Structure 1
Amino acid sequence: MQINLTGFLERKTPDFMLELWKILLSAQSSPDGIPNELVEQKKQEMEKKRAEEEKLMNLLKEKQLRITLENSMTKRSSTDEGTRRRERSRDEDRSGGRRRRDSSIDRRRRRSRSSSHDSRNRERTSRRRDNARTRQDSREDTRRRSRRERHSRRRSSSSSRSPRRKPESKERR
């Protein structure tokens, strides 16, 4: 058997055969017919997988805890922010409505920006429509030209031909 495998495994054939014989002998001596070495290897692989899964589960739990802590912190900060906003609005009301004038100025600015933005959008859409129309027109022009050319070719080719003659029928005697 070793000689037959030498062409395939070359230099590694003796080592392979030694391991194979060990496995075969251990399988022969075990009651199940399964080598003890293979059973031990499988047990070790399963232990490694379990350890990796436990690690991943622990990491997931830690991440979930962090996320819940962060969420609870942001909720607290947002409630703190809400109280700050309320306090600011009270202070502004006391200051004589200065904030209201500022907001009206902001509204005017927003309106002017939005109107210029709208006009830009209108210009873009009109340009797009124009481009689409010109593309469509050019396609139609090329179609018309090609039809004319085909038609003119048919005319020129039909005029150059001689009229067809009917084949003479032979009389039977």
Structure 2
Amino acid sequence: MAGAGQETRAEPTTADREIVISRVIDAPRELVFDAFTEVRHLSRWWGPEGFTTTTRSFEFCEGGEWDFVLHGPDGTDYSEWIRWVRIARPERIALLHGEFRDDPNAFESVIAFAPDGTATRIEMRTVFPTKELRDEAIEKCHAIEGGRQTLGNLAAYVTETLRKGAEG
């Protein structure tokens, strides 16, 4: 009977509050990780297609923050804020992402960098505070397509800019 009681205490699933996006990038894990964690790189690829990024402040360390503005192709500016929660170089980054510090609607993301032969599989697993916030991000902000485009921008940046620079 004790076993059955333990099963009822399992943690609730986050599937209805979660978005998972992954991509294989044709570059070594360390190079992909650096492109994701150094502001001189991040500002050149972050965001969906047509967006640009202006960094206000950046400190990549556990507890550090990235305060930035995403500029949409239609001229709309979006204030953004990230706190780096946990960093395990070059395997994983956990972060909290909102519109501003202490945003009650901020979501948590874990980005995993796994070797895939000579390439890297990157997976972004994002959990929103509620199912409604997740659904709103998908419907109004096109979060899934935007996430895919962002990882596409990262892949292009790493393979076309960083990797060629490392080889040349």
Q: Please confirm whether the aligned pair reaches a TM-score higher than 0.5, indicating the same fold.
A: no
Band of TM-score, shorter chain: under 0.3
More helix by share: 1
Q: TM-score, normalised by structure 1?
A: 0.16
Greater relative contact order, per chain length (Cα 8 Å cut-off, separation 6+):
2
Q: Flag the structure with larger Rg.
A: 1
Q: TM-score, normalised by structure 2?
A: 0.16
